[in-house]
Each structure stands twice: as structure tokens, then as C-alpha cells.
Amino acid sequence: MIYQIYPRSFFDSNGDGIGDLPGITEKLDYVASLGVDGFWVSPFFTSPMKDFGYDVSDYNDVDPMFGTLDDFDAMVERAHELGLKVIIDQVYSHTSDQHAWFKESRESRDNDKAEWYVWADARFDGSPPNNWQSVFSIPAWTWDARRQQYYMHNFLSEQPDLNLHHPDVQEALLDVARFWLDRGVDGFRLDAINCGMHDPLLRDNPPAKAPTRNETRPCFMQTPKYNMCHDNMPQVLERLRAVTDQYGEVFTVAEVGAAEPLPVMKDYTYGGKRLNTAYGFEFLSTPDLTVDHVQEILAGWPGEEGEGWPSWAFSNHDAPRVASRWLQDLEHASRVRLIALLQFALRGNVFVYNGEELGLTQASVPFEKLQDPEGINNWPHTMGRDGARTPMPWTTDEARHAGFSEVEPWLPVDETHPSMSVAAQNDDRGSTLNFFRLLITLRRSLKVLQVGDLEFIDAPPGVLAFRRCYDNTSVLCVFNLLSDDVAWSPDTASDYTVVADVSDVGTAEALPATLQAYSGYIGFNDND
């Protein structure tokens, strides 16, 4: 179980309105109290912050707004004292246009780094080389007058794509990995790694299978067949795995934002010689929680020979908070707990985004305070990313911005969040925070929840039911996703004892014959 920390918004230790590495270190006792195995820190590297750290200008240093390398070392040391693993982002698909590599590459077509990025001549009419679109609602090509060529970028124009086909680029990135492994990190989350290789023939992407003019971004009007997910990427991942294996047990997880992520995730984790695990946006992007959708996603990982291991995130810094996407104005606390109960019952690793354990909803950020370029470009038609990135509420003190900072933070604290703060929930045994702690403890104590196989159980419409099995133990997992009660119980329900639930199931001597609306439970059976 991994806890994601968005450093800008976790805790401000020096009173500048921005979270930092010393702030993370100061709050690691809290992270350890959750019971998680470790935490993943989103980018803190030197950057002009056009995309809030995902535009790296120096892979091997800390941006001054977050602290210093000494601060990073202190964070790692404290984490290890507390038994926590430290995972950091690695952004290998692109850099900032302020990176020294790109500055050299754009100077001429024959310098040492001329081919380290993706350059191409204009068409005869001066237009870009092909029809590729970036995810930020602009073409994926920008003209550079110095080279008199276009350079490619799957994201902002300030984020030129690296040419990972070039062996020197691969070696330079492996050196980056070695730099951080030598400083004691325990793993890497590879950002947008499926965007790391392009089609060298620069073929046009085909139209989307179901094109529509109602999309908020033109990239969704085409199938991204050639600007990402190249067949050679697994070879690069094998080179990375060879490096990480030299450092012992190093955890690696890929973020795969592909149109059809399942085959890509399986490819990147196949055979035990690439990455440990991968996650996509199947849950992060879906607007509602349905039985059919969950079954479809889980069925893609049946545990076949050579198959990798999935990971599941319901919220993160790139997606609107799940409490707002899936709640639909229903009773907040119980539905948040039902969602958590489901996530911790799934077969695969669990990623929890900071604030998710508090049940935070998507913050309301007025247009004049938006920071995210994606949110600004698409306002007001999407929820944007700023609402998921607002400061972590530590206290109920609104004057001190819920305990995040002594000064006005870079994004405002939502007016509803102080009442859901750590201080407000920490000592309340019935709080959402302590329900998360219960689930984390349960999952750590039951091997069957960690690695057990999964088989679905036939259930009425709107009810999701499955069994996890390992050795001589099994757990029965049942979730009523409907707003109505359902009169149903599995045939084997009497064999199980409730160990976690949302509703009054846990107070009953036997599992219920009727499932309350938006209720669920995990039952345990030790056949020994």
C-alpha cells in the first residue's frame, strides 16, 4: 500500500505558501500512523514549474522551493527510521525546454545532443509534420526558429519529448536512476512512460473509433497510435530493471495513460524482467462506479503465467477526487467508506492519494485562482486538476489555512475541508480516517487480501460480489452499489465472519439476508 504525497500541498514548513520536503519529513509520523508500506512523492526536482514539476530542468537536484538535497536525504533517513519505503517520480518521456540537454539540442542539427529530442522538418506548406495532438489542447509540434524544425511534445510546448530510441538518451536516464538509488530511494513511479517512444516514421494518427465534436480536447478525437506506446519501450524497461536489480528490492510502477491501457500495462510488467506493476486511468477517469465496469477491469488480470501485477488508484493529482466523481450528492461518509472498502478488497496494489483517507471532496477553486494550464484551458467544461491539488487540511483552524501554512497558500483551502482535517478525525474512532487505518491494518494482516486469486460470484444487478482465495483461507467481498436495499445473500455467507463493513453488518451474528443501500462487507473464512 502506497500513500501518494503531492509536495506542493502537503505541509509548508517555511511559511511561503508552498509545501516542501522538510514539511513532508515533519509529517512522516502521521504517514506511518496510517500503516502504509511507503509513500510516493510527486516531482520536487528543479523546474520552471510550467507543469508543476513534471517539466524537469535538472533531474539530479531539488528545486529551491522544495528545499535541498540535504533535505531530501533527511526525509529518506526519517522515513527509513519509521519503516517507510520512499518512492519518487521519474519523468523519462520529456524534459523542460529549460533543461541543458534541450538547450544544446535546439542550437543546431549536428551537435552532440541534436538527436536527443524528437525533431522533424515542416511539410512543404510549413505545417507540422503530422496530425498528432498534445493532451493540453494544442498540436503536439512547436516550431523552433534556430533549428528551423518542429519539435514534438505530448504535453505542453515547454515539455519537449525525449527521443528514447537514442541509446545515449537511455543511458543518461539510467544514470539519473542510479543517482537517486545511490541516495537511498526504494522505488520509482514512471510518469507517462508509455509516451516515451514515438513512431520514427511520424505517421498520422487515425481518427478515434467513435469521434465526436463534443470533446473538450482535440487529442480525444484521434486514436494515439503513433505518438506513444511504441513496441520498443519494453526493451528500455528491461534495461532499467537490470539497473534497479543491482540495488536489491526496488519497486517500480508505470503510469499508463493509453486509450487502451490493459495490453500496454501487461507488456510493461510481463515476465518478471520489466516493471513490478502498472496502473492506468480505468478508475481515475470513470465518472461513476458500476458493477459491469469493475468486473471488466478486474477480468483483465486473471493471473495467467508471466502476467504482471496491477495497481489501483481511485484518486491522484491528475484526476478529480473520487469522493466528488462517485458520490452523486449522496451521504458522503458512508459512500466514501464503501469506495475504500472496495479498493482494499481488489487484487492488486493500493495507492491512496493524500487527503483521500480524510474523504476530501474536489475543492472549489475560482477561475482567478486557477494554476493548472489544463484547467484554465478547459474551464468551465471540466473539473480540472487544481481541485484535487489544494492543501492538505491538518487542523480546523481556518485562519491558518487548515494548518497547512501561516500565509495564503498557492491554492486556496476549500471551505469544507477544515471540518474533515486530520485533527478533526484523528481521535474519532468512527471517522473516515480511522476506517482507512482499519482497512490498511486488515490488508496487512491477511495474506489472502494481498495476493489471493479473485473469482466473481453471480449476484443481482447492482451488487458486486467476489471471493479472494489463498491457501486455505478466503474472503467474501460484497458491495451493494445501488441506492435501494437488495434482498440477497451469497449461498456460502454463513461460512464467513465479518472483518470490515459499511452498514450495521458487523454487529450481526450472521451476514444479512438484505443488503442496505450503498453497503458492503468483507467476510473472512479460515478453513484451517
Q: Examine the residue annotation and report whether 428 is marked as an active-site residue of this protein.
A: no
Q: Are residues 378 and 487 located together in one domain of the fold?
A: no
The domain in which residue 499 lies consists of 453-526
Residue type, 284: L
Would residue 397 count as lying in a domain? Answer: yes
Kindly give the residue spans of alpha helices, DSSP state H, lying in 8-68: 21-26, 28-34
264: Cβ contacts below 8 Å, ≥ 6 apart: 194, 229, 256, 258, 278, 280
Contact yes or no for 139/220 (Cβ under 8 A): no
CATH number for 470: 2.60.40.1180
Q: How far apart are CA 114 and CA 104, in angstroms?
A: 7
Q: Are residues 473 and 403 located together in one domain of the fold?
A: no
Question: Which one is catalytic: 55, 71, 161, 255?
Answer: 255
Would residue 155 count as lying in a domain? Answer: no
Q: What percent of the chain has pLDDT over 90?
A: 82
Would residue 446 count as lying in a domain? Answer: no
- Ranges 39-48, 329-338, 516-525, most confident: 39-48
Report the interhelical angle of 261-268 vs 233-244 (nearest 10°): 40
Of the residues 441, 476, 497, which one is the last residue of a structural domain? 441
Q: Are residues 293 and 241 located together in one domain of the fold?
A: yes
Q: How far apart are CA 377 and CA 381, in angstroms?
A: 9
Q: What percent of the chain has pLDDT over 70?
A: 96
Q: Tens of pLDDT along 277-329?
A: 999 999 998 888 899 999 999 999 998 888 999 999 999 999 999 998 887 65
Q: How far apart are CA 429 and CA 173, in angstroms?
A: 46
pLDDT surpassing 80 at residue 385: yes
User: What one-character-per-residue DSSP string does 333-359 give?
Assistant: HHHHHHHHHHHHHSSSEEEEETTGGGT
Would residue 154 count as lying in a domain? Answer: no
Of the residues 384, 413, 441, which one is the last residue of a structural domain? 441
In this prediction, residue 449 carries a pLDDT of: 97
Kindly state the cell numbers that stand for 498. 465479518
Give the confidence band of 331 by pLDDT, cuts at 50, 70, 90.
low
Count of the separate structural domains present in the chain: 2
Kindly give the residue spans of alpha helices, DSSP state H, lying in 106-206: 167-182
CATH number for 393: 3.20.20.80
In this prediction, residue 376 carries a pLDDT of: 81
Would residue 134 count as lying in a domain? Answer: no
Say which range, 434-443, 491-500, 508-517, has the weakest mean pLDDT.
Answer: 508-517
Q: Are residues 424 and 507 located together in one domain of the fold?
A: no
Calculate mean pLDDT across residues 492-509: 76
Q: Examine the residue annotation and report whether 125 is marked as an active-site residue of this protein.
A: no
Q: Are residues 416 and 481 located together in one domain of the fold?
A: no
In this prediction, residue 212 carries a pLDDT of: 57
Of the residues 396, 412, 441, which one is the last residue of a structural domain? 441
Q: Are residues 245 and 385 located together in one domain of the fold?
A: yes
Q: How far apart are CA 17 and CA 32, in angstroms?
A: 25
Q: How far apart are CA 89 and CA 316, in angstroms?
A: 13
| CA dihedral over 410, 411, 414, 418, signed as positive or negative | negative
Would residue 323 count as lying in a domain? Answer: yes
Would residue 133 count as lying in a domain? Answer: no
Q: What is the mean pLDDT of the chain?
A: 93
Q: Are residues 283 and 425 located together in one domain of the fold?
A: yes
Kindly state the cell numbers that stand for 325. 466523481
In this prediction, residue 84 carries a pLDDT of: 98
Q: Are residues 323 and 371 located together in one domain of the fold?
A: yes
In this prediction, residue 330 carries a pLDDT of: 55
| CA dihedral over 326, 331, 335, 336, signed as positive or negative | positive
In this prediction, residue 136 carries a pLDDT of: 87
Helix count and strand count (H, E) for the chain: 14, 20
Would residue 44 count as lying in a domain? Answer: yes
Question: Which one is catalytic: 20, 97, 158, 191?
Answer: 191
Q: Tens of pLDDT along 191-246?
A: 999 999 999 999 999 999 876 555 677 888 999 999 999 999 999 999 999 999 99
pLDDT surpassing 90 at residue 450: yes
Q: Are residues 185 and 253 located together in one domain of the fold?
A: yes
User: What one-character-per-residue DSSP string does 255-320 give?
Assistant: E---SSHHHHHHHHTGGGSS-SEEE-STTTS-SS--HHHHHHHHHT----TT--EEEEES-BTTB-
Q: Are residues 346 and 466 located together in one domain of the fold?
A: no
Report the interhelical angle of 167-182 vs 233-244 (nearest 10°): 30
pLDDT surpassing 80 at residue 477: yes
Q: Are residues 339 and 234 located together in one domain of the fold?
A: yes
Q: Are residues 460 and 326 located together in one domain of the fold?
A: no
pTM more than 0.85: yes
